[in-house]
Structure 1
């Protein structure tokens, strides 16, 4: 006898209607059920930010969320976040990534920061990304990338 529950939500604008194990974390559902590998599994304690996604537009660490709790909600992963072009270009230009493991969380967090605060100070950038760990300690490049993205958005 298997115990499953039905999950209905949207992931990157695509309807998801699946039977899943009720113990499944959202990060596992995104990666293993939806097949979207840009969302990383890191610490599974909410400390590293590698599993960052958006739920109804808000940045969330998906390792802390049961998949069933997103019933009828909109999930956006790095693959579906189409509003990131200048942030991605800035990360490349400023070497804001090294191994790339933290990039998903950093980019989605930067996008949320710039949406809410289009001209953040360095301290505000550092505070915003403080919930995301960079294993390579590339924080200066990441901060420079967020600044560059903010400047690019201001010029646009």
Structure 2
């Protein structure tokens, strides 16, 4: 016996594309209206976390301190997931292999990580890095 399921919700493709972004080759680089809302909400939650984290004055006197403060303490990346590629007096290059919440969000929204990181992660991380050592000792 074959059962036929009727759907009373037949989304209009134009409305769907407007809300969630176009499907196809441009879907990753152009987030839709709802995806932009979710990304901006995520940015504001992440920024609120950063403001609360920065309430305690934090000092970084070396790049090793930046590694510990920013990656381990602020981003809460496990030490075993951070590979230090280059560490000098004025440069820190890392490769992280942790489960990234922004990557998961990007996959669910079908948005390119270059777009989602530019909206969510980059402004907040730059804000935190600028605020390190801004407090009197």
Q: TM-score, normalised by structure 2?
A: 0.30
Bigger Cα Rg: 2
**Higher helix fraction (1 or 2):** 2
**Higher strand fraction (1 or 2):** 1
